[in-house]
Structure 1
């Protein structure tokens, strides 16, 4: 088979990672893998792993993107993929128009993946107009079924995102060198009970809830320390400043450390005693929660979205009723008083995700 995946850019993020993972699986299975995007820092890895990258400006939410319809049609006619797999709305619209100009018997099969809880409008509906629509969790299946009546339920296929257990092995411990460097950079973390809130700095991720928790627990647990792992976009600098002043006014500066954007997330998740997932909006999947559980660190999170699906399958004692701050506090105390064991995870593997996606490609290509 020849499969062409389309996405806006190849810089970083879950959609990008998923594209690379499927590309790698296609090559390993002897198929041909093409990826169309505006480029980015992950292109060199994609090409090193055996795929062909075709650069096209399919990333802008602007009318000028319509100029890319003809070049995209040309690429499709030139490469003649069996399957075109769209992973984002602008590329999906451009593909929609590009395919219209190709004779029906010459058109490739069309598959889409719904990665997010998109706004409910005509613009987003394009993601549900394909032969098969992959949803990354049951929450996303429900969302499509509730809001996009144009999409027949039998066309929706739930394929969970997956992680490579070898990349996040159970019981993983960072190297002595990593520990030494980290304690040199952040001496306040030594010999502490560490609660980690991973994720970029935005109002949605639950930082205020974390600050409240530390304030309530500080007397009872003098050794407790919170780490926030994630960077702030230049647009979020004001929010970061606001948080720092809240922390200062509550006298918690010695108890909460912001470590910024990190590429060593596995080490931080393994280093922590407990990881929190407190987003005020449902996550479509919740990869970081899964990565933490995979290395054996307990996760406590709100019972919604993809995180709830992961926890209910793998670590149900980490589930807390949505926005119930009393229950959250109690769950935290329980974990701090009595450290919990996380069993090795067998679900949500990268291999399952790749196998199921390739099987779907083969099914539509028959």
Structure 2
């Protein structure tokens, strides 16, 4: 079994920006590189071309639409699995996991692939979310995700829950990284005012979860006390949250921040933006299972301030406890920011799980399932 090429089918709602999507692409690329067949079913999105460019196959089905009509894909998924001799059926989100589970259960026991789920988020608890614990193997992307499963679904066999942390690429986010002079020249031509300001950066998609309103309140407090700060909000607008984006822009006007914050939109040079930032923030209103941007920035030696819950709290506790803030406390957020701007605390060289570690551990789990 160890030498046989595998066929792995991953399922997720869509291939837009986000942690689930990043993890899917990283594993898909690792599978192809290792000589396996990588297939992905999703509703499509901006990352499809990157996925297929790396050698994976993509099947575009709207399996993320929350409608009874979506159940019709169960039969087509069962045929897809059977016709392609899929070895591993790997679901990464709740609705696709239900479809995968129903398709999998409908196959003869001796003809089924091994069924794997990955718990990417700290979902609302209940029967709908319980499906993420029904895999023959359940991957938790962080210690926070593992705690979530074991605390909220105590009937889950602990032997089926496997901690495989999300990884970052230390070659992409090296400690002490400095952008090339050509990038710096362009950046400061576009943003000359940043040369005289301390730069506070909030990365992440423009969704209510990410704490943009708290970040704007922080900027307003600091600017009122004449601190020379400037805010960067780095992330694309989510077309499903147009109303929230309107609310964020109204808050900018109401707080008088028009000349103190820039919305950069989605950027491919986030590493360089981290490098020119004094502080990077993670202010999710609800605990998240894994704070990728926190690990990326800390890997480079850039200080991070974040709300002390979920995976972000776990990471900061280990790598940069000076940046932990009580969730939702604007006063604590302001005080911690002031302290680190006035008396910076350097980040120690952090060793995080790498993308290759994550790929290797996942492939090893696949092999164990197929050998058992």
Same fold (TM over 0.5): yes
**CA 1:246–1:126 in 2, change beyond 3 Å: closer, same or farther?**
closer
Matches within 5 A, 1:37-52: 37-52=42-57
* Residue 329 (1) aligns with residue 299 (2): no
2:263 to 254, 258, 261: 258
For 1:5, what is the secondary structure of its paired residue? strand
The alignment yields a C-alpha RMSD, in angstroms, of: 2.2
CA contact (8 A) 1:293 1:342 kept: yes
1:354 to 345, 354, 359: 359
How big is the shift at 1:163? 0.9
**CA 1:191–1:69 in 2, change beyond 3 Å: closer, same or farther?**
same
Counterpart residue number, 1:275: 280
* Structure 1 gap segments, 5+ residues each: none
* Residue 27 (1) aligns with residue 32 (2): yes
How big is the shift at 1:109? 0.9
1:227 to 225, 232, 237: 232
For residues 16-53 of structure 1, what are the alpha-carbon distances to aligned partners after superposition, in whole Å with 9 as ceiling and x for unaligned? 22112112222222333222233333333323323333
* Residue 93 (1) aligns with residue 98 (2): yes
For 2:327, what is the secondary structure of its paired residue? coil
CA contact (8 A) 1:34 1:53 kept: yes
* Residue 299 (1) aligns with residue 304 (2): yes
> Normalized against structure 1, the TM-score is what?
0.92
> Normalized against structure 2, the TM-score is what?
0.90
- Distance, in Å, in 2 between the alignment partners of 1:362 and 1:153 is 19
- Distance, in Å, in 1 between the alignment partners of 2:229 and 2:35 is 51
* Residue 203 (1) aligns with residue 204 (2): no
CA contact (8 A) 1:197 1:229 kept: yes
Matches within 5 A, 1:57-206: 57-206=62-211
- Distance, in Å, in 1 between the alignment partners of 2:246 and 2:79 is 49
CA contact (8 A) 2:88 2:366 kept: yes
For residues 176-228 of structure 1, what are the alpha-carbon distances to aligned partners after superposition, in whole Å with 9 as ceiling and x for unaligned? 33333333333332221111112223333223332333333336553222222
Counting matched residue pairs gives 366
CA contact (8 A) 1:188 1:254 kept: no
**CA 1:105–1:316 in 2, change beyond 3 Å: closer, same or farther?**
same
- Distance, in Å, in 2 between the alignment partners of 1:253 and 1:40 is 32
